[in-house]
Amino acid sequence: MSRPPIDLRSDTVTKPSPGMRRAMAEAEVGDDVYNEDPAVKALEARTAELLGKEAAIFTPSGTMANQVAVGVHCRPGDELLCSATSHLYVWEAGGIARLWGVTPRTFMGDGGLLTLGDVEDAIRPDDPHMVRTRLVTLENTHNRGGGRVHPIADVRAMAAWAKGEGLAMHLDGARLMNAVAASGVSAAEWAKSFDTVSICFSKGLGAPVGSATAGSAEAVRKARWLRKLLGGGMRQAGVIAAAALYALENNIDRIAEDHEHARLLAEAFVEAPGLHPEVWPETNLVWVTVDPELGTAADVVAHLKSHGVLASALGPQTLRACTHLDVSREDVEIAADVIRSIDPEAIAAETVVY
């Protein structure tokens, strides 16, 4: 029997463990739209506690978790400040503008990581010709920045400035627990600088579906209206909330293993011909530049796939490998051997057009 592919495309590909499946099967459920699902209520309370906030709301996806936060803080004609490579701006189907009539203003920062110096002069004047600057968003860890962690001092400085200027702050914390594992700073301490925080249960935490947004009781009350508007009011959602609860109780401490595994992959990419990690991984993401002489990122990804390793081509010359709880140390070592043994001539032969 052949070995299944080693899937490094994303940390969203994880499958529920036997223990998680048991928790899902045994979940006590009710109608969450009526606020009667015990598992959902328990998850929301646990998430709020984890993030040091008054309340939280369970959503089907990280995109919805971020978008309801934008809707809570902004009105049509407002402006938000964000990284040019942020998930909120690039990978959420233009929801900022399409759903809320909000104008995004983007900044490159340091590989997507913003500091106060990037945005402190960006507030629009009080002028009827202009949008109203209302919200600042950060992403931690920053996916396109190589999964790097924002320095906590930078976050605190920006939060103090935003508060003084009357701006709201939202954190896309899809991989916040990776930032916690890498920095030693607690989730609540990270969240303290923000009015709202989203967190994803279906990435490094290994649940099959779901995210949450946490904030003040009033912010979450507003978010419930917006979640319903977007079709996110779920019924017996305790079946999936139980998986997220299991993840919070069982899968946080092991996240550091994913970071170690990512560094092993980065070492292999360094040793492979024509492949260069963009930055040294701090967490579970390895972004790699492909020399044109080797081919395109899609060529390399196809070659890796033919040898049982799945990665993602996320640009003409850019690929990404992502470690997670369904990739063991043995899997990573096998994948690293495949990466080191990449043969430029074989890739050239595979991509010949007749």
Same domain, 241 and 332: no
User: The dihedral of CA 24, 25, 26, 30: what is its sign?
Assistant: positive
Specify the pLDDT at position 197. Answer: 98
Please state at what angle helix 18-25 crosses helix 238-250, rounded to 10 degrees. 140
pLDDT at 7: 98
pLDDT of residue 293: 94
Q: For residues 76 and 101, give the distance between their C-alpha atoms in angstroms, rounded to a whole number.
A: 4
Confidence (pLDDT) at 2: 75
Residue 151 lies in a domain: yes
pTM here? 0.96
* Residues sharing a CB contact under 8 Å with residue 30, sequence separation 6 or more, in sequence order: 36, 37, 38, 236, 238
Residues in the chain predicted with pLDDT less than 70, given as ranges, are 1, 351-354
Rounded to an integer, what distance in angstroms lies between the CA atom of residue 295 and that of residue 278?
Answer: 17
Domain boundary among 218, 250, 282: 250
Residue 17 lies in a domain: no
Residue 332, CA atoms < 13 Å, CB-side half-sphere: 24
Residue 199 included in any domain: yes
Residue 19 belongs to a domain: no
Structural domain boundaries, residue 273: 6-12+254-350
Instruction: Write the CATH number for 281.
Output: 3.90.1150.10
pLDDT for position 354: 42
Helix (H) or strand (E) segment spanning residue 267:
helix 255-271
| Domain tally, the chain | 2
> Do residues 304 and 325 both lie within one domain?
yes
Dihedral, CA atoms, 189, 190, 191, 195, nearest 10 degrees?
120
Residues paired with residue 80 on neighbouring β-strands, in sequence order: 104, 135
What is the per-residue pLDDT for 352?
53
Select from 114, 101, 109, 99 the least CA-distant residue to 66.
99
